[in-house]
A and B are shown apart, each in its own frame.
Chain A
Amino acid sequence: MAAERTPRFVTEEPAQVDRWFDRITLAAGVVVLVLLTLVGLFLLLRSRDALSVTGVWEFLTRAEWRTDVKPARIGVLGLVMGTVLVAFTAVAIAVPFGVLAALFITEYSSTRSRRYLTALVDLLAAVPSVLFGIWGFRFLSAQIEPLSRWISRHFSWIPIFATGKHPRFSGSIFIAGIVVSLMALPIVASVVREVFAQTPPGEKEAAFALGATRWGMIRLVVLPFGRGGIIGGAMLGLGRALGETIAVALILPQVAQVVFHILENGGATVSGFIANRAGSDDFTTSGLMAAGLVLFFLTLGTNMVASVVVSHSRSGAGVEL
């Protein structure tokens, strides 16, 4: 009789090693969370001075930075806009190139050269960003200007590619984005490459056996399988691009206004601005802390969304790109 039966739940004392393992991993997780909270709290406390003078809402919606007037008028809107524009430009460039690089490494290169190419891409991630910055500032910038001019001539009907009457093409968000894309590229490429490399060989063989070309196989099998990795890689690249400091501090003029025209001289990012103004008076520092807090939430949010996307897309559960 079913009614008389009682379900029995079987549990077992975990083994000693498992218990220690549990504790250690838990401790590590807690440490990370505590550090994150401490950073947030520190920023919050240090930014109180500035925020109490300007008000939180004004700080978030104002696009100027004047400490010479009383009361000071400071706000991060321009900085946040610049940050986002630089980051999106960087990711828009880094993702297609990263995916192509990953495809080349996993699907087209020979087994032998694959190792070297992988190492090369990872090496790119190890280049200190100040080198990219100085190179972009001293050399690349001048090379990009003709391209900027060409884009502005042919695509100025797209609002972000429009320019003023006598535009200067140096020191633009576009150039900063290109330089930052070089730093995001290795992250995107290596995340995507790792996912592509896990494509089930049986599915690839199935596609080939159906008469697929290599590209047909990639479209049918590798890209859908790697979709989660592509999105995740893009988000991680975005996280990296949002926080990039030195290169944009060198390239952009760092005025705290809203700049839409990415081809033109102008613009600022939160981290670049902080780097430029660090070491000023106490009130400015407090304002910079507040700006840092905004950036902190921006990157935290991006990375959290990235990890959720990656963990939820068992690679393979996707449609054709």
Chain B
Amino acid sequence: MTDTLVRTPSPSAPIASTPPTLTGGPPVGAATVEARDACAWFGERLVLEGVNLVMARGEVTALIGPSGCGKSTFLRMLNRMHELVPGAALDGQIFLDGEDIYGRGMRAQQVRLRVGMVFQKPNPFPAMSIRENVLSGLKLARIKCDDTEALVEQSLNRASLWKEVRDRLGSPGGALSGGQQQRLCIARSLAVQPNVLLMDEPCSALDPTSTRRIEDTIAELRRQVTVVIVTHNMQQAHRVSDRCAFFLAAENEPGIVVEQGPTETIFTDPTDSRTRDYVQGRFG
């Protein structure tokens, strides 16, 4: 399929009769995420230090920087996946709409329900059907939905996968192509209607067409959910994001945020010379 075909709004898009409503899910709408003096360790090793970053409600924030500077680690702190690694520790605070997600009385499961995540390697549940994959988050969190079929369609549509799979919702998720699997993972994350969606290099294993579709998806998600995306592709960061944060780690030093700001500024008029060198592809 060509780009133009993908980009024209499809007639099969939901004519939004009544959007499905969830009970027991996250609060409705996008949320602001704020990191204050965030630090992370793996065992004794400090890998991330003093990150202050506001990822505003409904905006797309791109995290850029060379490999190993702590972008994934930072991302995984935002939905409490970091703590699943044995020996991982952290300091500082992460606020989700003003609430400290590491505060007392906050459960990791609740946080992860509100802050969805898409991984670098597509990881659908291969033996489950496409429909079951989309609905798996609801099942795990015991969320009720008044119209699951509509929710499946809506989620797949938002991930621009609906047209390709609507005739085979019962076939296993593992039988899709890599790009389709990744969009299925996005649909699966969106089905619980999270406030924030984290994406860790979601396109690095995909072909250009699939990449383009995922970028389109991100563009359509803007305003509805806050998106934080890690990417090594400078054009992609430029295209999809409102704001950018440049991470960097000097040798044997923890990663830090060197510079952050509106994407246009970071790409055209950065204040730090290291940022300029990086976005112009001179290192990393």
| Residues of chain A at the chain B interface (Cβ within 8 Å) | 110-111, 200, 202-203, 205-213, 216-217, 220-221, 224-225, 316-319
Contact = CB atoms under 8 A, between A and B. Distances in A.
A211 B137 contact: yes
B81 A209 contact: yes
B255 interface: no
B194 to A, nearest CB: 9
- Report the contact-size class of chain B (Cβ under 8 Å from the partner): 20 to 34
B140 A210 contact: yes
Interface in B115-141: 116-117, 119, 121, 123-127, 136-137, 139-141
B144 to A, nearest CB: 15
B271 interface: no
Given A110-B86, A202-B121, A205-B81, A210 B136 contact: yes
A208 B123 contact: no
B140 A200 contact: no
A213 B81 contact: no
25 contacts: A200-B123, A202-B119, A202-B121, A203-B123, A203-B125, A205-B81, A205-B123, A207-B125, A207-B140, A208-B84, A209-B79, A209-B119, A210-B136, A210-B137, A210-B141, A210-B192, A211-B110, A212-B141, A213-B109, A213-B140, A220-B125, A220-B139, A220-B140, A316-B126, A318-B127
**Residue in A110, A111, A208, A316 whose Cβ sees the most chain B Cβ within 10 Å:** A208
B189 interface: yes
B257 to A, nearest CB: 24
Contact of A210 (B84, B121, B188): B188
A317 B128 CA distance: 9
Contacts of B79: 209
Contacts of B223: none
A54 to B, nearest CB: 51
**Residue in B119, B125, B185 whose Cβ sees the most chain A Cβ within 10 Å:** B125
B185 A206 contact: yes
Nearest to A317: B127
A202 B127 contact: no
A208 B117 CA distance: 10
B113 interface: yes
Given A210-B189, A211-B109, A221 B125 contact: yes
A208 B113 CA distance: 9
A155 B281 CA distance: 75
Nearest to A110: B86
A216 B125 CA distance: 14
Contacts of A212: 109, 140-141
Contact of A209 (B117, B121, B124, B127): B117
Given A205-B119, A206-B188, A211-B113, 14 more contacts: A110-B86, A111-B86, A203-B125, A205-B123, A207-B125, A209-B79, A209-B116, A210-B188, A211-B137, A212-B109, A220-B125, A220-B136, A220-B139, A316-B126
B36 interface: no
B232 interface: no
Contacts of B274: none
A211 B115 CA distance: 9
A210 B119 contact: no
Contacts of B113: 210-211
